Structures are given as C-alpha cells and as structure tokens.
Amino acid sequence: MKSSVENDVIIVGGGPAGSTVGALLAMKNRRVLLLESEKFPRYHIGESLVPGVLPVLDELQVLDKVRAHGFIQKNGITFVWGKNSETWTIRFDEKSPAAKKYGSTFQVIRSEFDNLLLRHAESQGVDVREEHKVIDVIFEGDRCNGVKYINSQGEVKEARASYVVDASGQAAVLGKYFDIVDYDPRLKSVATWAYFKGVAPEIEERRGNILVESTPYGWLWVIPQHNERTSVGWVAWATKYKELLDGSIATTFAKVLASSSEAHRRLEEAQQDSEIYSTRDWSYRCRQLTGPGFLMVGDAAGFVDPLFSTGVWLATKAASLGAQIINELLENPAREQECMTFYEASYQHFLGQILDFVRYFYDSSRTQKEYFYKAQGILDSEKKDTARSDFIQLISGVSGLHRFLESGGNAPIGVEYQKG
Ligand SMILES: Cc1cc2nc3c(=O)[nH]c(=O)nc-3n(C[C@H](O)[C@H](O)[C@H](O)COP(=O)(O)OP(=O)(O)OC[C@H]3O[C@@H](n4cnc5c(N)ncnc54)[C@H](O)[C@@H]3O)c2cc1C
C-alpha cells in the first residue's frame, strides 16, 4: 500500500543499523529516505564482529561483497581472563550455528565496512543523503511524522514519512528529544585506543582472533586489521580511571600495555601508527524504544558495552526485526501497537540478556567454568548442551529474539529469525 506521504520511512543515520533497516525496506519496494550527517567513508570504532552478524548480512544479500573485500577472517576469541589469568581460546564454529553455516566472521575497518553497507543500501533503492544532519523531529499530536534537517548546502528543510527510524547511534536523537536515556551506573568506562604496525601475528590456530585481556580495573583488546595495522585498546572503569592515570593518557596507555602479558608479548616490536583516541564508554538504554510513528535501532536504542563486541550485531539484528515490523505496519497500520510492543519487548529482552552476562564477566576473579555456567543459566536452564557450548553460543550473538519466541513471546508477524 502506498501512502500519500512523500516517504514511507525516514532513517536518521547511516551506520550499520540505518543501512540495514533501509536496505531491507527498499528491497520490499518501500520509499526510504536516509539522512546521514557525515560524508562516508567516515571513521568509527567497533571493529570486531561476532558471527551473529552473518545471517543479517546474508539477508541483506551483501555477505559476498563483505567477504570479497578482504577483511581479516575472525574465527574466535583469545582470552587472558579469569582467576588464574591464563590464556584460553574459543572457536565460534565449536557451537555457533552462524559460524557453522557461514564460516568466519570479520575484523573490519569500520569506515570501509559501514561505507560498503551504506552503498549497498543505496544500490537497493534507498535515497541516501550524506552531510544531511537531522536537527529536530516533527510530531502531529503524539505521532512522529517527520524530521527537520540541515542539508549539505546549509539549508534547513523538512521531510515527512509514515515512519521515522532513529539509527543515529550514540547521538540518540529521539532518546534525547524525549529525555529517556538511562545510564547504567555499574558499567561506566573510559576507552583509549590507537593503531600499531609490526604487531607479532598470532600462532596459526588463533590467527585472526580478537585478544581480550584483563588488566587491573579494566581490559585490553587487540584486533588485527587487513591494512597491516592492529587496533589496540584499553577500557578502564570510570570510577578508577583517575587513580590509574599515571602521567598523560599516552604514557598511562603505554604503561598499561607494557604491564600486560599477552598483549605486551605481541607488541614488543610494534610501533604506534596513529594518534591516541579516547571516549567515555557508558552503558545506557532508552526507557522506551517505540511510539506512534517511530522506532529506535542500534546504539540509538541502547549500548551495552564493548567487552563482547556485540554492538554491530545488536544494531543489525534489531534493524532486521525493525524492518520487518515497519514493512508489516505500512500494510496494516491498525496493528501498530501490537507490533511495536513486540519489538520493544524483544529488544529490551536481548539487551538485558547481554547486559546480565557482561556484568558477571567483568568480575575477572571467577573461573572459566563459572563463566560457562553463567551462560548456561541464561541460555539453557535445562542443560541440554554443555556449559562451554552455551558460553560460545551466547558470545557469538545468540539471538535473544529466538529465545524470546521459544519462551512464549508471541510474534505478531511471521518474524523470520536465524540463530547467531
Ligand atoms: C570503545 C568501543 C569499542 C567498541 N567495539 C566494538 C566491537 O569490537 N564490535 C562491535 O560490534 N561493536 C563495538 N562497539 C559498538 C559499536 O561501535 C556500535 O554498537 C555500532 O557502531 C552501532 O551501530 P549504529 O548503526 O547503531 O550506530 P553508528 O555506527 O554510530 O551510526 C550512527 C550514524 O548516525 C549518524 N548520525 C548521528 N546523529 C545524526 C543526525 N542528527 N543526523 C543524521 N545522522 C546522524 C552518525 O554520523 C553515524 O554515521 C564499540 C563501541 C565502543 C565505544
């Protein structure tokens, strides 16, 4: 059904969430306008993808393009974590259905990955306007039906649509408009990172893995990239950050790396090849994710924590569900409340599931087995599988959505889902 409004959907933001919603709706012949404030390719952090992303890339029909791009293939995670600070490794294909079906996931350079997804959305018919910044949302009564934006010529314009999707990432345009962003006081960190050349490659069986190593009051990541550089980051608890600072950020970062075990070993011959980046890394979510005429996806809805590299997966998974919901509502507007309630419950459920596990894992004084049993408690209370398998499935991007459906949440639409 074509409505009389100029667009079926307006999407705010062209990151992975916005490109995914846009492409999937355009593939259903919906008229989609996507407004992105930056000019792509643009820099972004968030470079390690879990296998749960792969089914969505397949649904988008972009998986072959992503594979052909040459990103580093990621098969698992190497941890230095837990009571004995030992090194241990998991491979996703030990358990993850997505890894078994599609093979490796990827360590991506986000400017390239995000640009690939945005160009793909455009090729599917999305009207992508870069350097178009949304400055306000427009309501008629309580119904969101458009946005106000500044275009690349600096002119203020308005656009209308049947639905507005907020995919603006941490800018959280709608969340801030309604003032409904709740921060989690237990997960506040400061992230510091840089890119290095000459990092020693991992041994063959761990090659391409992300390294996740605990440090006093925080942790480190080491992520190989396909341009010969390696992304190395340090996440420190915000409550301890001032105490941990020993000189400048740069000298503290260098000292933390030097006192690590596995990361230090890999970095012995390496040279820093970029500036040092730093950001506050607060966990948050919006109290409400939907309403009349609007829906939020990705970081605009909530951000858990970088620890398990779940951001892009959550963003694209929610975007896939959001696209199915909006497509249904464009056909059957009377079902809005029912469908939006389902989206809201599913999304809050899978944000909650990851959050619960991340909080538990942050206590690095536990044993591996304790982490595995915790994952089993979340995913598999009847213990149908081994605890290690449940752990792998959880951190591969097990879709909270399928758990929600299996545990009795009634999908109002024929939601298609694939396990991560
Ligand atoms: C330190 C750190 C490490 C991380 N590591 C990982 C990782 O390893 N793996 C992983 O999967 N995730 C990781 N993440 C999370 C990941 O970066 C995000 O979850 C992911 O980028 C979310 O995608 P998105 O599309 O929702 O938002 P974004 O990718 O942020 O895209 C939002 C887009 O909206 C645009 N925009 C914003 N405001 C407006 C506006 N007013 N008008 C128009 N456009 C606008 C922005 O320019 C941007 O392009 C990490 C995050 C942090 C902080």
What domains appear along the chain, each with residue ranges and CATH number? 7-180+283-406 (3.50.50.60)
| pTM for the full predicted model | 0.95
Least confident of 45-49, 226-230, 380-384: 380-384
Position in ligand 1 atom list of the atom nearest CA 18: 25
| pLDDT for residue 418 | 46
Lowest mean pLDDT among 53-62, 88-97, 289-298: 88-97
Q: Is 47 in the pocket of ligand 1 (CB under 6 A)?
A: yes
91 strand-pairing partners: 76
> pLDDT confidence of 413, banded at 50, 70, 90?
low
Q: List the beta bridge partners of residue 87.
A: 80
Q: Is 317 in the pocket of ligand 1 (CB under 6 A)?
A: no
Best residue for ligand 1 mutational test, from 10, 20, 24, 37 (most atoms within 8 Å of Cβ):
37
Q: Ligand 1 atom 26: the closest Cα is on which residue?
A: 298
- Ligand 1 pocket, 354 CB below 6 A? no
Q: What is the mean pLDDT of residues 127-133?
A: 98
Strand partners, 237: 189
| Residue 192 CB–ligand 1 contact under 6 Å | no
**Mean pLDDT, rounded, for 53-63:** 97
Q: Is the pLDDT of residue 420 over 80?
A: no
Tokens of 201: 């490659």
What pLDDT, on a 0 to 100 scale, did the predictor assign at position 55?
Answer: 94
* Euclidean distance between CA atoms 238 and 185, whole angstroms: 10
What lies within 8 Å, CB to CB, of 231 at 6+ separation is 47, 193, 195, 221, 222, 223, 225
- CA gap 140, 144 in Å, rounded: 6
In this prediction, residues 367-379 reach a mean pLDDT of 91
> Which amino acid would we find at residue 306?
P
Give me the mean pLDDT over the 294-298 stretch. Answer: 98
CA of 15 to the centre of ligand 1 (A): 6
- Say which residues have a Cβ less than 8 Å from residue 99's Cβ, sequence separation at least 6: 51, 54, 75, 91, 92, 93, 105, 396
pLDDT score of 356: 87
Write down the mean pLDDT value for the chain.
92
